[in-house]
Structure 1
Amino acid sequence: MDIKIGLADSPRELVIKLPEGQDDVLSTVEQAISGGQPTLKLEDAKGQRYLIRTERIVYVEQGTAAARTVGFMR
């Protein structure tokens, strides 16, 4: 599943591929922002860790976990 995070004063968004089974990532982000935590820690599917300043987060978009089909369907 992909998650896109828009950051203030940045023309690009941060796209992170999360491992399967992390459907509650939006609630984790919301708790970090509303709880006044200065940073948000996320880990992607490859094990890379991200440390994001919560005061710079503008929006968060969560993609679907379903795989896209390619080609002709019958």
Structure 2
Amino acid sequence: MEVKIGVQHTPREIVVESAQTADEVERRVADALAGKAQLLTLDDEHGRKVLVPAEKLAYVEIGEPTARKVGFGTL
């Protein structure tokens, strides 16, 4: 699962490849925005944790990872 996180006053977004489901990520984002958690905490595919302060979240985009295309052939 690919998750893109926009942080206020930061020009770049955070991109996390996570094994968590879309529903679980959405629930964690909702909890952070509702004030139930001060940090948005996500686990990436390598076992690392990404922590973002809830008050600094600008947006969160949840979607499937796009497969890289290799070669120059037409599809």
Q: Normalised by the size of structure 2, how large is the TM-score?
A: 0.78
Large movers: runs of 4+ above 2 Å:
67-73
SS of residue paired to 1:30: helix
Please, which runs of 5 or more residues in structure 2 have no aligned partner? none
- Count matched residues: 71
Identify if the C-alpha distance between structure 1 residues 60 and 68 changes in structure 2 by more than 3 Å, giving closer, same or farther: same
Identify if the C-alpha distance between structure 1 residues 58 and 69 changes in structure 2 by more than 3 Å, giving closer, same or farther: closer
Q: Provide the residue aligned with 1:6 in structure 2.
A: 6
Question: Counterpart of 1:18 in structure 2: which amino acid?
Answer: S
Aligned mates of 1:69, 1:15 — CA distance in 2: 16
Identify if the C-alpha distance between structure 1 residues 30 and 68 changes in structure 2 by more than 3 Å, giving closer, same or farther: same
Identify if the C-alpha distance between structure 1 residues 52 and 69 changes in structure 2 by more than 3 Å, giving closer, same or farther: closer
SS of residue paired to 1:52: strand
Q: Normalised by the size of structure 1, how large is the TM-score?
A: 0.79
1:34 Cα offset (Å): 0.9
2:22–2:62 Cα contact (<8 Å) kept? no
CA RMSD for the aligned pairs?
1.9
Please, which runs of 5 or more residues in structure 1 have no aligned partner? none
